[in-house]
Structure formats: structure tokens, C-alpha cells
Structure 1
Amino acid sequence: MKRALPELPVREALPALRQALAGDGRAVLAAPPGSGKTTLVPLELLDEPWLRGQRIVMLEPRRVAARAAAARMAQLLGEPVGQTVGYQIRFERKVSAATRIEVVTEGLLARRLQADPELPGVGLLIFDEFHERSLDADLALALSLDVRANLNPDLRLLVMSATLDTQRVARLLDEAPVVQSGGQLYPVDLRYLPQRSDADHGEAVAHGVLAALAETPGDVLAFLPGAREIRGAQRRLESRTQAAIHPLYGELSSAEQDAALQPDRQGRRKVILATNIAQTSLTVEGVTTVVDGGLVRVARFDLGAGANRLETQRVSRASADQRAGRAGRLGPGTCYRLWNRDQQASLTAHDTPEILAADLSRFALELASWGAADPSQLAFLDPPAPASWTYARDLLRELGAVDAQGRITRHGRELARLPAAPRRAQLLLLAKARGLGALAAWTAAALEERDGGAGDLAGGVQAYLQGRAADPNALRRVRDSARQMARLIDAPEQAAADDRDIARLVSWAYPERIARRRGSQHGVYLCEDGGEARIGERDPLAASEWLAIAHWDPGPPRKIRLAAALREEDLLSDHAERIAEAPHCRWDAQTAAVVSETQKRLGAIVLERRMLRGAAAAEPIRAAMIEGIRALGLQALPWSEAARQWQARVLSLRQWRPEEDWPDVSDAGLTASLETWLGPFLDGVTRRDHLARLDLMEILNASLDYAQQQKLARLAPTHMDVPTGSSIRLEYRPPEKPLLSVRLQEMFGCARTPTINDGRTGVVLELLSPGQRPVAITPDLAGFWAGSYADVKKDMKGRYPRHPWPDDPLEAAPTRRAKPRGT
């Protein structure tokens, strides 16, 4: 077939691209927006000898881009879609036996590879707009590289992008050639039009659009973060301008999306209010002006809540450039940026790839289905975030989808066969086994919608089943998805609506989100995983005792978006294997006592309490009492002076004899080892005031074995005999030497400082006057007699004349007594 294809800028790169694909079988094409890479490259490669009549499969990141690309290529060939060029997206397929180019969304290729890895009849895979870095695109490329390396070396790969770091991709493709397209966009006049920070975003974009309509010719493409903002801007514009206003976002029907891309039938100027669905791939006829609100809504997976958090954030510089480029595809254009130049400089360079931010549970299941227990076994531009990968694998193990080694199980293959996240696939299989497959298909389909019924899931599912949903597009999507899933699990396509069963289904999919109302508080719930979730007090669900929560916004506190009222009898029946009965003891700081009871629990939710009795209670009560002592501090124990001195003696020996095994009996050491030395003595002790019963000195000493006790008494005695025969108490005070406080006269005749610790450690002498007041402190008794004693004698002799003060204390007899009167 002879084709007259347009002269687009990318054409100059075709010779180098043909050479790279013919020789290496892989290439990276860097081409700016509007260069024609999406529509011209596949058509120009159709007759390459190495393709030999095989098909080209091209991946697009979005449904609207896939359909638009197929339609444009078919138009260039003068054919209807479905002949030489076709497409397949979810619930929509236009291909035939004559189709040579098939445009598909990224998730479909991964499913085809799982079904038949060799991709028979496919000669070339094209990954268009790869810079968007969706999880499906990363997965599909990794699987394709593995197929090329191990199963089908003739499969050719082409990665195309406008803003990607092409050298990184080239390295991923085993140093594939990088082909640069020299095509340039038309010039775009950038105008910064900052808005008030507190302005409503839909109003701000509407204001920018009105300015663009007044100041520039042609149609206007405006970017907003989501459908809510688009609807707000649409309402404001429809009352202020005669231009045709068209929304463009992923949830719209194909007909509504096509209407946004086609010229207005009445010849009016057109305003397209779009999410980033229009950021790449699409060339919209007539658009010469872009109004960029500068925001994008992305999903960020919250590990703590096990749920995606939708965040509205600033676009990256790369995205802002792509958006501006929409205005310069067909001729010179204008872009209004609703922020200032300083904010432009602070934008991040690129968007975060989904593999680093998204829920990886389905991704992990796909890898397990492929036979890869770990992502390192395949080639990825960025490895998954480690914490998110661990969470995903743990979830798959909990669902029984993989074994302990990460290998997929038979049940895991059943889950992977269903086009749903693992939890919802689990719901479908469990429901099928219990005769609720049809209702599960509708419930799972409703859960795919962002509102799912706006609060009350049961009411939402009922509305979908009865065909009375407020949003006809949502009704169409849910109906199509429900019918597909019902067919896959061999269930009827229609179901009887039952609120009670809908709640049961949700509890099977998200058991950790089963929640019970906290006491009498309306709208405040304790979840099975221990977290708290809240719903508006005026919401009809707020009075429900139990909820099965399907969606929440991660907190704290978590905000319930979608739930169903759950009956307790259903909970007890359906989740009997998750309900455990066990002794539960804890320290209550308010009463300073142990609370001990047997609890029947569903995770963190206590279903029933009974007083804990019998021998089985002793150990948990003891552990709770120890927890309480730690909370109170060691000073709560009945310390005596003797007990503190025992502690100081042992610590002294630990310091003096490090080669020996003396325990750490410091306050920190004793606190850390309460279970060992105090635990055995806590039978019957359940309150703080019970601690007074303990003989702490006896308990501490029992922590030493008999040999250590004997050694302690010998090496670090409590008392020391002095020359008069008196037994004087030693005061231990580590890390200093022990102190011996004794009257000076009792030490007469003693030439050397007394020692302990087998003579290794001398004591410090505190020498007292006859009135028991310190007159000298010395670690060197001989030095004292030879030196300071004379001054002490001179000072003390007049005060205590009846007590001996000999000139030579070493020759005098030690005494405890005063001289007789008259002597």
C-alpha cells in the first residue's frame, strides 16, 4: 500500500532509527513534543525487512492517547480504525486480522506477556511517552527485556520520550543507540499570571482562561489537577463566555473525550479543561494557548495506613514545559502560567516515578507470576522503594499468594488472573466460594471508583445495581467492570443487592479496617490494626457500632471515605479464625496497679473481658508489674540504707575486679534486669503499695550465688575492726574508696591505713573528735601521724582536756574512753 505520509520533524531521525533497530534491535528516540513521533514512526517502520509482516504494538500511558493515536494513524492511511491500525483499551477493542499496528494501554501489555511471554506475531514493541514512568510501563519494559534476553531475541524494542534522561534508558537497554530528533516546536510566549494563594483553584483557572480568550486567538487548553476543579471552572466559564467548554479527564466516556479533541461543530472557539491526561501524546487541533494552573494530583502510598493518599502538588519543571509545548504544536502559541517566576525556579526537575511512590502489591504479584521473587532479578530504571516492596510482599504472604520464599502459589495465580488489586481479587475469590460472586463483582467494581458511593458503600452499590447512579459515566464503568469480573469468576452478571453482604465482602478484603465505635462517641472508631478512624458526626454511618471500611484518607486521624455498616454476628462468624482469646495484663498508671483480664480480641478491638484467674495468670501479672516498676522508677522499691550499701559494695568490686563476673547492679542495670532478680519474688504483688512488703536486701543478695555472697562479705565487708576492738561501719561510695568514720583516739597505735579487698584497696579515714565531729580526712594514716596530727592535737587538747592527746600516738594505747576525773 502506497502511503503519502506528512513531512513531520521526526522524519529526519528515521534513517538512524531504522539502522539502530535493524542492527541492535533496540533504540531510544528522543523527540520533542509535536515532532510526530507517535503517529509517524510506527507507520514508517511497517515495511522494514526485519518486521516481516509481524505486528507493531505501541504502548500509550492513557486510554484517550491510545485511541487518538490510532485514529490519527488510520486517518493518515485513509482507513477506518481497526484495519491496518487498531487499538485495545479496557472494555474497548478495535482490531482485525489485517491489523499491523496495535496501540494499547500499558497494563494490557503486561497481561499479554504473562499469558504468552514470546508474544508470537509481534516484531516491535514501542514504549511511547516513557518519561511518564507509570508502574505499568516500568513493569512492561522489564518483562520485555527479559523476554528479549531469554525467549525471543528477535523482538525489537523502541523507547520514545520527549523529556526523559535518554542515557539512563539506553544503559537499561544494554547500551542501546540513542537517536535524537531535531524537530523543534514553534515558539511559545510564556506569560506569568500569579493568583492569590487563597483563591479557589477552579476560579483561578477560569480567570486565566478568560484572560487568554481576550488576549489570544484560537482554542485554549487549560490544565487542572482533577475532575472536581474542572467542574468548578466549567460552571464559572459557561456563565461568562460564549466559547464551547469541554472537560477532558480519564473517567469520561470515549465519546466525551473525543468531543473535547474535535473542532466545535458550530465553529465556536473551544476551551478544553483537562487533567494531565492532555499533557503528552495528544495534538489537539486548534489549540494555540495553554493556561497552566500548575497543580497535579498524584497518589502516594501511605505504609502506616495501607492506603493511597491523593496529594495535590506543584507540577515539575519537565511537566510544565510539556504543558507549555501543547501551545506550540501547530504554530506560534502562548502559555499562561498561574504562578510567578520565583515559583518556577523552585519547581522540582521531574515527577516522581510511580515505582517509588505507589502501592506495589499488584506489581509484586505480577513479578511473582513471572517467576521473579525479587525485583533485582529484572531490569528496572529505578528499583522499588524498599519499604513499599516489603509491605507488598508481606501482604501477598498474608493473602496466601506467595510462599515464604516469595514463589507464587496456586491461589496467587488465581488472584493474578483477575484484573484487580490483590485485596479485591481476594474478595472475589472468597465471595465466589461462599455464593456471593455476583455481588462481589459489583462491589469490587464500585471500589474502583474514587467515591464508590460517597460515604455509604452499600448505598452506592445498590445505586449501581439499580441503574440510578448520579454519574452516568461512573455507572457505565462500574457496569462494564462488574460484568468482566463476574465472567472471570464464573458468576452471574446481575446480583441481588444486600447491604449486610456488602459489608461482609468489604471486611474480607480489608480485615484490618474493621472498626468499632469508641464508646458513645459518634463517628470515632477503633480499627482492627489499632489506628483510629473518623467519619462526620452527621453521616448516617456515624451511629453504627461496627463498620467495614473500604477507603480512608490516611491521617492521623484517618478520615473514612467509604464504608458499610457491619453486623457483629457476621463479624464473629466470618472472622472467627482472626479472633483470639488470651490473657491480657497491663500496668495502669492512674491506679498504680496491674489490670489483669482474659480478653477476646479482634486485633486491637476487645470483644469481651473476663477477670483473669488461676496459675496461668501469674506470669502475665508478673510481667505487667515489672512494666509498672519500670514506669515508676527503681526508687519505688523499699530501699533501706543496708540495701543501698549492698549495691555500692557490689559495684565497688565490679570496679576493682573487672576480671571477675560481678553483675551490674547500678540503677540502670537493675532496671534492665528486673525480670531476672526481682521477678521471682513478685507473686501476689499487683499494686504499688504491695512493694513495701518486699525484703529488698534479701532479694538483692539472692541475685548472687553462694560463692559470690561469701566473697562479697570477705572482700567488701560492711564493718571494719579498729585497734580498740570496735567494729565500725564502712561507707561504700563508688567510684571513690570506702570511708571509715572513727574517733581519732581509737586509732592510736595503728601505723598503716586499713585495707579491704584482700589488701588491694585502702580505705579513707574520717577521723573524729571526741564529740564525733570530723577533724581530719586522710587516705594515708602514717602521713597523718607524722604531719597533721600535731596541729590537730594543739587545737583539740584545750577543748577536750579529759581525752588523751599523746605526743607519740603510735606508742599510745587506743581507747574509747576519757581519762578519769582528776588525772
Structure 2
Amino acid sequence: MTELELPVLQVMPELKEILNRRTSALLIAEPGAGKTTQTPLAFLDESWLDGQKIVMLEPRRLAARSAAAYMASQLGEKVGQTVGYRVRMDSKTSASTRIEVVTEGILTRMLQRDPELGGVGMIIFDEFHERNIHGDLGLALALESQSVLREDLRLLIMSATLEAEPVAALLGGAPVVHCAGRQYPVETVYAPPAAGTPLHQAVAAVVTRALSAHDGDMLVFLPGAREIGQVRRELEQRGLPAGCVIRPLHGQLPQQEQDEAVAPDRQGRRKIILSTSIAETSLTIQGVTIVVDAGLMRTQMFSPRTGMSGLTTVKVSKASADQRRGRAGRTMRGTAYRLWSREEQDFLPERSTPEILQTDLAPLALELAAWGVKDPLSLLWLDPPPAAAYGQAVELLKRLGALDSGGGITGLGKKMSTAGMHPRLSRMVLLGAAQGHGMLAAVLAALLQERDLFQGQSMDRDVDIRKRAEAVAAWMRGGRGALSGLADEGRIRRIEQEIRGIRATMDLDADAAINEEYAGPLLSLAYPDRIGQNRGNGRFLLTSGRGVEIGQVQLLSRAPYIVAASVDDAKGAEGRVLLAAPLPEEELFALHQDGIIREGAIAWDRQIQGVKARQVTRLGAVILRESPDPAPPSDAIAEALLDGIAVEGLDILPWNKSSTQLRQRLQFMHLMHADWPDFSGETLSGTLREWLQPYLHGMKKKSDLQRLHMSAVLEQSLTWEQRKQLDEEAPTHITVPSGSRIPVDYSDPAKPVLAVKLQEMFGWHETPRIGRGKMPLTLHLLSPAQRPVQVTSDLASFWKQGYFDVKKDLKGRYPKHYWPDDPLEAVPTRRTRPQ
């Protein structure tokens, strides 16, 4: 099939006609349709474009360069003439460039510099189904520019798997054009590994199997660079067939190595391309007829709970799995192996979660502030930023000095927004440069934006970032041996390129000395919420309140203060420090004076069982200094004491038998009369300030509380009439026929108990009642040994029916005691026999 036969060209007349009369449209084109490389070229000569540029936003750098190169070749030109690209740290454009393929925040930067986008007539958002946050932001800003400043600006959304209806509605009812793809048949083979098989071994086994069963090149999808290295080593150990070569492909590789992976092998060898999701869309890799899909991808997840981001491995969606499968049928028939079962396929999510819903929103919030937006809902979004995560991002930017208290952008914030880095890192470089440490800040920023320099090497367990900075500085001075055996050269060259880019963007003094010992103070400017205080055993408390630990004992484990620049927060109660540097105490006080608070701290201390009053100097959750407070306010002491009672429970108070019974009697009255106050433990605990605080003057510890007279405290909450009513309806004792005054047990206020010896109740016909006769007491009739022989609330019935069986038993066990035949006429006695 020739380029003239590409399916997208069949729908191009319809798409052109739509954009001649409207300013927005959607193109849903299946894989292989040619949308990425044909659509921009097709619109170059449209009259409404009038010589202006077309900007196409591509989610991935490799795809952007590849698309630009392919379009340029179709015009018989080199990249940088009619067709060019701009990606992070790399661009090829000229004055004659009419089509610019851009990535990441390039479009956002263009809009921020010139909201009218002068000289740009059309923006194409390619592979929009990937829902990259830069795409979502770029579309939101472009829509506002179109509605307010540029009614003539054309917007075209392109995708292979996007749900068109929500996007069309977002664009004001934009028409949708559908296009079939150019796809050869692909056989799907489900090959789930045995339980417990490591991923690299499972993948290598399927690769070996597929190599022997099929011809052609192979594309293997893995979650990340680490797994790519593991699978490569496993395949090399197993032994590759003759004429095969392994090509890794991921975003951290140098451009030359990425291009080698995509291009046909110069020696005609069979390629096994081990790739991340970078090859999932946009790229057509000639010769690939086999796909092996591990079914996993790495994604950035932000936790509002901890305020930290981390890479997480998740299962791919059905849409992504289908995209990967389709790579095997772009040029001929193919086969796709999936390392999961048919049953597991049914449980995969339909689509991947949009990045805007799960990533750190601080960069987005800063871009919106630079645009002049405080409320993100004032813009149009397919998925608006989550309120909690966005609010957290705004608070961070205020702490970094990028936003003022009202949420408006500051002068520092404007500079940070143009740096092309995370706001944390741009602040570090800007403030570090002002202190004469700009190049060290650039080195640290580059290290933190790359995969760990020592990862997978002999030094990777040492979390001290100063050693990485020292090695990079030595490399840049020409000391290539400084990294011998510690890092691969490709990685260090990427870091070096990043440093050069930061230096150029931020206009840094290239001759400034790099003193890696100042790494901690610089990092604290980027991560003020991750300044950690040593708690012993390699554990640190961060100013954010989060706990972290250094896994292996090392010099940094003993530092009084550190800055944890990179933390794995995916597992456990405490995060694991990946990269950090020590922070000298004097620098902590010098750099963070604005955030340091000096205050009195009065709180209940469970260890001493008393109120502890201190003068505290703290930064966030970290207490830097503390000393006893010689004269704390008495009302604050009382409040803290009440908090202690609430924590320890009411049992800390000096309840005796009398006060406990009083509290129970009062609760009985509450049950009997709705207008009486509630004296349950729950209510008393919740109202301590109302009934107890007046009696705490001069007290500050548990032993002081023993001076309280709890009966008197409780009685003070009653009126004189209530006290009288209490004695009448809830008596403390009942006088029984023998003359004894027996205490009433109100332990269960709903069922008061009178425990009395059976012989003392002779002659009493009816059950005694309290509460003005409304509540019969539950009688525990006791044997001479004070053990219950009968429980009843109907004494008359007991005398008639139960007494004689009880008498028979008791008379046999206690023959000397008095057991009359007629208990109602008998003489009650507290003794063995009546006298």
C-alpha cells in the first residue's frame, strides 16, 4: 500500500471542509491510518492558514522527532526546514518552519509568552487519548485563547481510541470524523506465567518461544528501564539465536540509541526491542511482526495524604493493550503474546486514568497562576484537577514563595514558571544562583530529574546525593574516571546535557565553583517540607509530619538533620529515603527563619501523667528547641489537663464507692426523666469543660486530681429541688424487714439491684420499688453464704412458687438456719435464727 492509499487521506476532504467553516474538529483514526504524519501536511496550503504555522503536540519525544523526520522526508527536505520539532533540551527549527512538532510543556510556554499565538493558525493535539497533563493544560489554555483572543485559531484533536462525545462537547459540539486504520491481522496468544515466576524470567521464556515460532522483529513491552535491563541480562544468559540483536528503548536513553532501536538494523540482524510504553503509539517500527506484552506500565502517582509522588507499576488498560497488540500488524501479519490469561483480560480497566487525576499538580497550579487563573474551574477541562490535590499544590507554591497569600503569582513565581522545571527545582536554582551556588543547584536539579546516577551500581544503596554531585562535577571538569564502575556513560551524558540546558535557560555562571557540601541547604530551598530531624536508628521526622527512614546504616543515618529529596513512599508507615543530603543546623535557621515558629507548648504528657509546659521553637512538625516554661497561663494548664483526662479516660479521676454510686444514681434519674442531665461516661467525657474545669485551679498532674471530691463536683450540677428529688426517687439504701439498710446497686441504671439475704425479707409481700413506684428493684436473694439463690423482680410470685424449692435446698445445706413454712408470716432476721 502506497502513501497515497493511507486511509486518513480518504477522509481529508471532509476534515478540510469542516475546518473551513468551523474552528474545532475531532479525528478518530484507527492505528495505521497515517494521521500523525499526513494530517499536518494536508493543511499546509489551506487558505485560512494564510502562511501561519501548524503546531502539533505529541506526547512523546521519540514520536515527535520521528514524525518530524518522516514528514520532512516526504517533502524531500531535512528536519528543520518546512517541518521541525521542539522537545525538551533539543530542537530543530528555522525561519522557514511551518510545521512544529512539540512535546511536554513547549506548547504551554508558547501560550504563556504570547496568549494570542501570533503566527500560529492551527494546533493539533495528537494521541490525545493518552491524556497527558500537558495536553489537558494546553487544550484548556488554547480554548480560552480561542474564545477570547483568537476566534480564527483552529483546534484539531486526534486519537485512535478516544471517546469522542465528551471531547466534542468540550469543544462546543465539534464535528467528529472517523477513519479506518491500515491494520494487518494479528493473532493474540495468551501466555500467563506460572505463579511465582519472576517477571524477567517469564518474559524471556515467551521471547525465546516466539523467536523460534515466528519470523520478523520483536517488540517487547516492559514497565521500566530496570525491567528492560533484567530481561536483557536474562536473554543474554539463555543465549540468543544467531543473527539477533537486543535494542533497549526508553525515554532515558540518548537520542542516538533511541533512533537505533527504531531504525532497521544496519547489519540486517533480527531486532528484539525491549521498550517501555514509549513505543505504544505514534511510532511505526518497520519489520516488527511480534509483540510480547508484560501487561504493565509505570505511572506517576501523587498521594495527597503524604504530599509525595512516586512511580507505581500498574496493569495496563484494555485500550493500551490493544494499542500494543496493534504494533505487530502495522506492516504485515503478526502475533501478539500477552503475559496474562483471557480471564484476566476481562478485568483490565477500559482506559488508563488521566494523568491530571493522579499526579502532582504543583506545576499545573503555577502555570495557571502565570496565566492569571486562581480558580481552575474557570477554564474548560475534560477532567478538572481534583480539588484536594490542587489545594495542596497551591499551599506548596505559597510556601515556596511562588504565590502570595491570595493565590496570585509573585515575582519569584513568574521566574519559576519560565524555567521548564518542577517549581521546587526552579526555586532551588534561582535562589541558589543568588547565593553563588547556581551551578551546584543545576547539578542537583539534573540529578533529581534523571534516573539515579548510581542505580543498579555498587554505590546505589548510599543515599547521599553529594556523592553523585561530586562525581558529576569531576566528570564535567574532565575527570572521566570519577564515575568508573559507578554509572553508565549514557546516563551521565544525559545529566550533563540537562545541566547545560538549565545553565542556558537560567543564565547561570558556568565558572561558578561546585561545592557539593552545600547540597543540603540548596535542597532545603526546594523541599522545605522534607527537612528531617533524626529520631535514631536511621529514622527521621519530616517537617511535613511524615516519617522516613534510611534503610541501611550509613554516615547520613547519624546526621542530626537531612533533606530527603527523593522518597519511596509506596509501602509501610514510613517512607524510604532514596536521595538526601545533610543540613547543618546553622543553615537550617538561616534559610528558614520565616517558617520557624516560637511558641508556648502546653500539653498532657502520658509518660509523666501530667501537663508539660514548654517554650518550643519548631519548623513545621519538627521541634528544633524546647525548654521548660516557668510561668505558663493557668487557663492553658487547665485545658491541657482536661485533654489529658479525655485521653486517659474518666477512671483517672478519684472515684470512690460513694461518688461512683452517685454518678450511677444520677444516670438512673436521667433514664427515668428526660429533663434530667445525662451522666453517662460518654457524655461526661464530652462535657468535661462544663462540669469539671471550675475545680481544676492549681492542678496540673494526676496526683493533684486526687484532691477532688467527685460527689461534691457532681452534686454542684444539681439544683436544690433535684437533690431532694434524687434522694426520694433514687435512695442510696433500702431498709428491709430485718431492719438492715441495704445499699442499692445502680451499676446498671436501667435495672437497679438490691442484694439481700433471703431471711431478711420474710414478711415483705411485694417487691420494693423506687422512682416513685415506677421501677421495681431486681432482688438478688442471697444464701447465708451471700450467694444468690434467686433473682427476681416479682417477690410475691417467688413466695408462692419458688420459695419452697429454694427452702428445701437451703435447709439441707444450712440446717441450723431458720426456714419457716410460711415466709409471709415469719419473723425476718439477719442472724441464724430470730431471737
| Distance in structure 2 (CA, Å) of the matches to 1:192 and 1:778 | 73
Contact 1:728/1:742, CA 8 A, preserved across alignment: no
Equivalent position of 1:478 in the other structure = 495
Equivalent position of 1:502 in the other structure = 519
Shift of 1:779: 11
Equivalent position of 1:111 in the other structure = 109
**Which letter does structure 1 place at the counterpart of 2:58?**
E
**Which letter does structure 1 place at the counterpart of 2:177?**
V
Structure 1: stretches of 5+ with no match in the other structure: 792-798, 809-820
Equivalent position of 1:811 in the other structure = none
Shift of 1:26: 1.3
State whether structure 2 residue 563 is matched by structure 1 residue 548. Answer: yes
State whether structure 2 residue 704 is matched by structure 1 residue 697. Answer: no
For residues 170-193 of structure 1, give each alpha carbon's deviation from its aligned partner in whole angstroms, at most 9, with x where no partner exists. 222222111111233011122333
Which deviates the most, 398-407 or 355-364? 398-407
Alignment of 1:60-459 (within 5 A): 60-237=58-235, 240=240, 241-451=242-452, 454=460, 455-459=463-467
Structure 2: stretches of 5+ with no match in the other structure: 455-459, 805-815, 826-834
Question: What's the TM-score, normalizing by structure 2?
Answer: 0.84
Partner of 2:289, secondary structure, is strand
**Which letter does structure 2 place at the counterpart of 1:601?**
R
| Distance in structure 2 (CA, Å) of the matches to 1:224 and 1:65 | 18
Partner of 2:102, secondary structure, is strand
Which deviates the most, 93-102 or 403-412? 403-412
Contact 2:252/2:450, CA 8 A, preserved across alignment: no
Shift of 1:60: 0.5
Q: 1:461 to 1:707 in 2, by over 3 A?
A: farther
Contact 1:583/1:620, CA 8 A, preserved across alignment: no
**Which letter does structure 1 place at the counterpart of 2:592?**
H
Partner of 1:518, secondary structure, is strand
Which deviates the most, 211-220 or 127-136? 211-220
State whether structure 2 residue 41 is matched by structure 1 residue 43. Answer: yes
Residues matched between the structures, number: 803
| Distance in structure 2 (CA, Å) of the matches to 1:265 and 1:762 | 100
For residues 452-486 of structure 1, give each alpha carbon's deviation from its aligned partner in whole angstroms, at most 9, with x where no partner exists. 55522111122222224534343333334334434
Question: What's the TM-score, normalizing by structure 1?
Answer: 0.85
| Distance in structure 2 (CA, Å) of the matches to 1:667 and 1:226 | 57
Shift of 1:636: 3.7
Shift of 1:409: 3.6
Equivalent position of 2:812 in the other structure = none
Equivalent position of 2:470 in the other structure = 462
| Distance in structure 2 (CA, Å) of the matches to 1:738 and 1:232 | 75
For residues 348-386 of structure 1, give each alpha carbon's deviation from its aligned partner in whole angstroms, at most 9, with x where no partner exists. 221111111111111122222223323322222222333
Equivalent position of 2:687 in the other structure = 673
Shift of 1:77: 0.7
**Which letter does structure 1 place at the counterpart of 2:398?**
R
Contact 2:754/2:780, CA 8 A, preserved across alignment: no
- CA RMSD, aligned part only? 4.4
| Distance in structure 1 (CA, Å) of the matches to 2:336 and 2:736 | 100
**Which letter does structure 2 place at the counterpart of 1:699?**
V
| Distance in structure 2 (CA, Å) of the matches to 1:266 and 1:160 | 36
| Distance in structure 2 (CA, Å) of the matches to 1:410 and 1:778 | 83
Shift of 1:745: 13
**Which letter does structure 2 place at the counterpart of 1:529?**
S
| Distance in structure 1 (CA, Å) of the matches to 2:196 and 2:287 | 33
Q: 1:565 to 1:648 in 2, by over 3 A?
A: closer
2:620 to 583, 589, 603: 603
Partner of 1:97, secondary structure, is coil
Alignment of 1:728-739 (within 5 A): 734-735=749-750
**Which letter does structure 2 place at the counterpart of 1:665?**
F
Q: 1:336 to 1:719 in 2, by over 3 A?
A: closer
| Distance in structure 1 (CA, Å) of the matches to 2:637 and 2:448 | 45
State whether structure 2 residue 561 is matched by structure 1 residue 560. Answer: no
Contact 2:752/2:778, CA 8 A, preserved across alignment: no
Which deviates the most, 451-460 or 59-68? 451-460
Shift of 1:648: 4.1
Contact 2:473/2:514, CA 8 A, preserved across alignment: yes
State whether structure 2 residue 602 is matched by structure 1 residue 588. Answer: no
Shift of 1:711: 7.2
Partner of 1:267, secondary structure, is coil
Q: 1:763 to 1:222 in 2, by over 3 A?
A: closer
| Distance in structure 2 (CA, Å) of the matches to 1:107 and 1:615 | 54
**Which letter does structure 2 place at the counterpart of 1:64?**
L
| Distance in structure 2 (CA, Å) of the matches to 1:767 and 1:435 | 87
| Distance in structure 1 (CA, Å) of the matches to 2:226 and 2:560 | 32
| Distance in structure 2 (CA, Å) of the matches to 1:705 and 1:367 | 63
| Distance in structure 2 (CA, Å) of the matches to 1:327 and 1:153 | 42
State whether structure 2 residue 476 is matched by structure 1 residue 491. Answer: no
For residues 15-42 of structure 1, give each alpha carbon's deviation from its aligned partner in whole angstroms, at most 9, with x where no partner exists. 2211221222211111111111111111
Shift of 1:701: 2.2
2:662 to 627, 646, 652: 646
For residues 257-288 of structure 1, give each alpha carbon's deviation from its aligned partner in whole angstroms, at most 9, with x where no partner exists. 22222222222222222111111111112222
Partner of 2:420, secondary structure, is coil
Contact 1:133/1:353, CA 8 A, preserved across alignment: yes
| Distance in structure 2 (CA, Å) of the matches to 1:761 and 1:95 | 96
Shift of 1:236: 4.3
Contact 1:503/1:566, CA 8 A, preserved across alignment: yes
**Which letter does structure 1 place at the counterpart of 2:494?**
R
Contact 2:400/2:427, CA 8 A, preserved across alignment: yes
**Which letter does structure 1 place at the counterpart of 2:269?**
R
Shift of 1:216: 2.1
Give identity over the alignment, percent.
44
Shift of 1:154: 1.0
Which deviates the most, 221-230 or 673-682? 673-682
| Distance in structure 1 (CA, Å) of the matches to 2:351 and 2:104 | 21
For residues 621-657 of structure 1, give each alpha carbon's deviation from its aligned partner in whole angstroms, at most 9, with x where no partner exists. 5444434433443234332343234334543554455
Shift of 1:85: 0.9
| Distance in structure 2 (CA, Å) of the matches to 1:228 and 1:729 | 77
Which deviates the most, 603-612 or 140-149? 603-612
2:591 to 553, 574, 583: 574
Contact 1:741/1:765, CA 8 A, preserved across alignment: no
For residues 227-256 of structure 1, give each alpha carbon's deviation from its aligned partner in whole angstroms, at most 9, with x where no partner exists. 122223334445524323222111122222
Q: 1:491 to 1:705 in 2, by over 3 A?
A: farther
Alignment of 1:678-689 (within 5 A): 678-683=692-697, 685-689=699-703
Q: 1:582 to 1:208 in 2, by over 3 A?
A: same
Contact 1:744/1:767, CA 8 A, preserved across alignment: no
Equivalent position of 2:811 in the other structure = none
* Structure with max Cα Rg: 1
Shift of 1:161: 0.8
